[in-house]
Amino acid sequence: MRIVSLLASATEMVAALGCTEQLVGRSHECDYPPEVQRLPALSRPVIDINTSSAGIDAQVRQLAGTRRSGNEAALQALSIYQIDVSRLQELQPDVILTQTQCEVCAVSERDVSEAVRQLTGLQPRIVSLAPYRLSDVWEDLRRVGAALGREAEAEALIAGYQQRLEALRQRCASLSAERGKPPRVAVLEWLDPLMGSGNWTPELIACAGGEPVLSASGQHAPWVSWDELRQADPEVLILSPCGFDVERTRQDAALLQQHPYWPALRAVREGRVYLIDGNHYLNRSGPRLVESAELIALALWGERAGVPLPAEGWQPLG
């Protein structure tokens, strides 16, 4: 079987299922496990992703032709990626993995369907993932497993991930009970303009023993004003912009530190602001969401969380 994965989380699922050698192509965002980087990248963004958070947001809105609104309906028809159709034709895939969850975050099913219509003599199976909650992520893993003939392996992986999360939940619930109540935690998925946490992230915060604020479980993350952030005044603030690693997040965090409300935030005063790699962890709906919950637990409880201290992926803002 020849597999093209145009979604980073799906690529990680393929690898976890033991099918890395069947991958023949990837998206420009697929970078884990490291060996997949040798594969041809079949997509590229049509915007400048190396500019500031505000600059990226402005480009996306210009393409969408809309101002920010409550439901961001215009963004549903947005495409900010191009697929190399000629290379896709050469690779002759049997299966293409993509997603319908977010037109901005990754190559979408609409992009893939348009590309497939241009292929000659090929009718690859398109498998689309649509994760909004943790349960959806597990269902997506089942869907990928079924497409690759690895159903049993998928069930075994899901059971292991769920067991790890439940063990973390129990440890952190005990810590929260000792404290008297869970710490209020805000995760920002974009920094300029501010965006709270959505989809599965509030569940991860709860697994880590926290109370999510400025969040929308099972929905796209909400836009947040500085007044709303100040009013919520979280005890722990985690900066984890979608697509940004820790170093890139640190660069944009300087923008927050210039805002007059920043010093007044409790998390800032108490030194409880953390950076988590939003590219590899919180915003990538694959196997490493388990590690994402563990990183949040480290931010909340330190060594008492009982999880290994990773060499990378998170840092205190300092």
pLDDT (0 to 100) of residue 72:
40
Model confidence at 105, in pLDDT bands (50, 70, 90)? low
pLDDT (0 to 100) of residue 125:
93
pLDDT (0 to 100) of residue 65:
66
Model confidence at 106, in pLDDT bands (50, 70, 90)? low
pLDDT (0 to 100) of residue 104:
60
pLDDT (0 to 100) of residue 206:
98
Q: What percent of the chain has pLDDT over 70?
A: 93
| Beta partners for residue 122, in sequence order | none
Higher confidence at residue 233 or residue 83? 233
Phi, psi of 85 (to 5 degrees): -65, -40
Average pLDDT score over residue span 37-47: 90
pLDDT (0 to 100) of residue 61:
77
Query: Residue 68 pLDDT > 70, yes or no?
Result: no
pLDDT (0 to 100) of residue 76:
37
Tokens representing 22? 């069947």
Higher confidence at residue 16 or residue 309? 16
Model confidence at 47, in pLDDT bands (50, 70, 90)? confident
Report how far Cα 244 is from the mean position of its chain's Cα atoms.
10
Average pLDDT score over residue span 47-75: 65
What one-letter code names the amino acid at 253? Answer: A
Q: What is the mean pLDDT of the chain?
A: 91
Look at phi and psi of residue 194 and say left if phi exceeds 0, alpha if psi is from -120 to 50, else beta. Answer: beta
pLDDT tens, position by position, 163-221: 999 999 999 999 999 999 999 999 999 999 999 999 999 999 999 999 999 998 999 99
Own/partner long-range contacts of 15-19 (Cβ < 8 Å, ≥24 apart): 16/141, 16/157, 16/286, 16/287, 17/144, 17/145, 17/148, 17/150, 17/153, 17/154, 17/157, 18/150, 18/153, 19/148, 19/150
- Whole-number Å distance between alpha carbons of 225 and 231: 10
Phi, psi of 229 (to 5 degrees): -65, -45
Average pLDDT score over residue span 237-241: 98
- Whole-number Å distance between alpha carbons of 79 and 4: 19
One fold for 3-130 and 176-316:
yes
What are the sequence ranges of the domains in the chain? 3-130, 176-316
- Please choose, from the candidates 227, 132, 241, the residue with its C-alpha nearest in 3D space to the C-alpha of residue 196: 241
Determine the CATH number of domain 3-130. 3.40.50.1980
Query: Residue 130 pLDDT > 80, yes or no?
Result: yes
Q: What percent of the chain has pLDDT over 90?
A: 75
pLDDT (0 to 100) of residue 81:
78
Report yes or no: 47 and 61 within 8 Å, Cβ to Cβ. no
- Whole-number Å distance between alpha carbons of 187 and 198: 9
Average pLDDT score over residue span 106-128: 81
- Whole-number Å distance between alpha carbons of 90 and 296: 42
pLDDT (0 to 100) of residue 71:
40
Model confidence at 34, in pLDDT bands (50, 70, 90)? very high
**Alpha helices per DSSP H over the chain:** 8-16, 53-64, 85-91, 109-117, 134-147, 151-179, 201-207, 226-232, 246-257, 266-269, 289-301
Which DSSP category does 24 fall into?
Answer: E
pLDDT (0 to 100) of residue 286:
96
Model confidence at 49, in pLDDT bands (50, 70, 90)? confident
pLDDT tens, position by position, 148-161: 999 999 999 999 99
Question: In terms of C-beta density within 10 A (0-12 exposed, 13-18 middle, 19 or more buried), how is residue 72 classed?
Answer: middle
DSSP states of 291-302 as a string? HHHHHHHHHHHG
Architecture of domain 176-316: 3-Layer(aba) Sandwich (3.40)
Tokens representing 90? 């050469």
Model confidence at 87, in pLDDT bands (50, 70, 90)? very high
pLDDT (0 to 100) of residue 51:
82
